[in-house]
Amino acid sequence: MDITKQLVLIFLMGFLSSITLGDETKDLDTIVVTATRTNIAIDDATLPVTIIGRDQIEQSLARDISQLLRFEAGLDIGRNGGPGQTTSLFLRGTESNHTLVLVDGVRINPGTIGGAALQNINPDIIERIEIVKGSRSALYGTDAIGGVINIITRKANSSYIESGYGYGMYDTKKRSIDLGFNSGSTELGLSVNSNKTDGYKIRTDSDIKRGYENLTTNFHIGQAFQNSDITLRHWRTSGTVEYLDFFLTAIDQDFINESSAIEINNNFKNNIQSKVIISSVKDDIKQNQSTANVYSKRNIFDGQISKLAGSHNITGGLYLSDEEASSFAWGSGYNKDTQSNAIFIQDQINEGNHRIFIAARLSDHETFGKETTWNAEYGLSISDQWSINASAGHAFRAPDATDRYGYGGNINLKPEASDDIQLNVAFRRDDNTTYRLELFDTKIENLIEYDFAKDQMLNIGQASMRGLQLSYHLINENYSIRADYINQKAENDINKTLLLRRPKQSFTLNISKKLKNFDFGLSLLASGERKDFGVTLPGYAIVNLTGQFKLNDKWKINTQIENILDKHYETAAKYRMQGRSVFLDLTRRW
């Protein structure tokens, strides 16, 4: 046994032996908004909801959001190498463009390539992440087949100044400044964060290193009135990513992802509330060695009004979207404008131990016409310890502009349509400990895939994703343990082949322990083999260790050792993932 494995075993033995049961209990009233578009207690959600909180984000020292999500059960990452490289997310076996990503409730999936640019989202600006697993097209429209990830940015709960500097392997440098002001009725926040790395050799068949540079700015200002509030937000990330083309030539491209929004909330008489978000989202990619570019811009009106009447909470809304998408590559391109509108209505019913959620949405897409989606869910608290949730939903995804007009595009594509059913059973042994069994089955008609023989995007017929998740969660004021096991199968039902880059089995373990001035963290991901283009990638297991040392009320040091066992692994064929690396971060708060 080498010295690294010995150190890991010593750490684990000491860590686990130090765990003692405390008196504090898990907060059972944690509020989430993404599951139903309204504020509810997480235990009232009828679909599985996972929260990644600020403490976990801060201690992880993740440089992009995918480094956080990969340690969450059912979220599989496929990445073309190191920092800034193209990243795909497969939620419970669905496609990478089947997960809707929101920033403060605003859709950021681009109109050109479907999947959000997870590799460019800096965790330093994030307060928490809400992950809803299951179809939510009835609430959010296209793309929400596998689920929804809502990135909620940091709020200024007090007045403060915070700055940080970090350094690590591959000459990775991180700088940040965060300002907050809160007078009770007025709130203002500004974050500026930069990340830069020389990178490493991302391809197994090349010795060329590829780097990445990212500058992220996040700003918000809010004003509260007697029965209403208004908030202005702007998020922007820009930079340069270096990569290798098909011929292993070193090239690079500049990118901009940004979102601007105004949100207005009102509380009226008779338990009536309204929310309006008017937003504009832009994605811009320009290749520096040619004139190739990809651009999309979307303007959105998203409004809703809710009425609480006895055991019912009824919500209705209107969604209007105008999207411009353009691309130019290899001497050809497209420029298309698409409008999509929708109305929706939903009802949440809480009657004793029973919880019912029903929702329906009528979408009118300029290209594909009208599409009706729905959700029907039921939850029962059998006792103080046992609860059960059952759900069914119908969702859809409209082909994006690249599917229709890009390389191999097909203007005759049909929208993808899915039917999803779930059964979830939870046993709460006490206020700290929960066991869960989650069964899921998703069938997708007209799944869009690239056909190499015909050199074109096609609807392949039908695909299915089914499986189960077993979970053990122990959460206490002083420590937490989260262990999750997934067994799933995602396949093309026509030719019975497995869908690419999705393992059948995975196991995640996240442990944190708080001492007086020091916090430990351990994250483990064990993933089974997965199919890729013409090959089968072997399974792997990686372990990350983190520590946070609080020097005093103002100073703290965060440390991270990623992939401490220095395992070689690939989530996409011929693309290396990061080996063992160390990163340190020093933060000062005024």
DSSP 8-state secondary structure symbol assigned to residue 356: E
- In this structure, the number of other CB atoms found within 10 A of the CB of residue 453 comes to 6
Buried b / exposed e over 287-303, threshold 16 CB at 10 Å, is beeeebbbbbbbebebe
Percent of the chain clearing pLDDT 90 (strictly above): 86
- In Å, how far are 66, 76, 328, 524, 531 from 538, measured between CA atoms? 21, 15, 36, 17, 9
Report helix, strand and coil shares of the chain as percent, to nearest 5. 10, 60, 30
Closest CA to 169 of 110, 83, 289: 83
349 close to 332: Cβ distance less than 8 angstroms:
no
pLDDT (tens digit per residue) in 348-402: 999 999 999 999 999 999 888 899 999 999 999 999 999 999 999 999 999 999 8
Say how far apart CA 106 and CA 280 lie, in whole Å: 9
Kindly tell me if the per-residue pLDDT of 325 is higher than 90. Answer: yes
Residue 93 has pLDDT above 90, yes or no: yes
Positive or negative: CA dihedral 54, 78, 122, 322? negative
Q: Is the pLDDT of residue 8 over 50?
A: no
| Rounded-to-integer distance, Cα 46 and Cα 391, Å | 7
**Residue 285's pLDDT band (boundaries 50, 70, 90)?**
very high
When pLDDT is cut at 50, 70 and 90, the band that residue 310 belongs to is very high
pLDDT for 29 equals 60
Which backbone phi and psi does 6 adopt, to 5 degrees? -60, -40
Distance CA 330, CA 168 (A): 38
In this predicted structure, the answer to whether residue 5 has a pLDDT above a threshold of 90 is no
Res 37: pLDDT:
96
CB atoms within 10 A of CB 454: 10
Long-range contacts of 424-429 (CB under 8 A, 24+ apart): 424/48, 424/388, 424/389, 424/390, 425/386, 425/387, 425/388, 426/386, 426/387, 426/388, 426/389, 427/385, 427/386, 428/384, 428/385, 428/386, 428/387, 429/385
**pLDDT interval class at 22 (50, 70, 90):** very low
Q: How does the average pLDDT of the chain come out, rounded? A: 92
Structure tokens at 191: 């974050």
At 498, list the tokens.
């497995």
**pLDDT digits over 193-246, tens only?**
999 999 999 999 999 999 999 999 999 999 999 999 999 999 999 999 999 998
Q: Which domains does the chain have, with CATH numbers?
A: 3-589 (2.40.170.20)
- The answer to whether the CB of 401 falls within 8 A of the CB of 327 is yes
Compute the average pLDDT of residues 271-298: 96
Cα distance between residue 273 and residue 105, in whole Å: 17
Q: CB of 346 within 8 A of CB of 314?
A: yes
Contacts with 159 (C-beta within 8 Å, 6 or more apart), sequence order? 180, 181, 182, 183
Give the CA dihedral 579, 242, 330, 409, nearest 10 degrees.
50
Q: Are 46 and 40 in contact (CB under 8 A)?
A: no
Of 64, 66, 62, 92, give the one whose Cα is nearest residue 77. 66
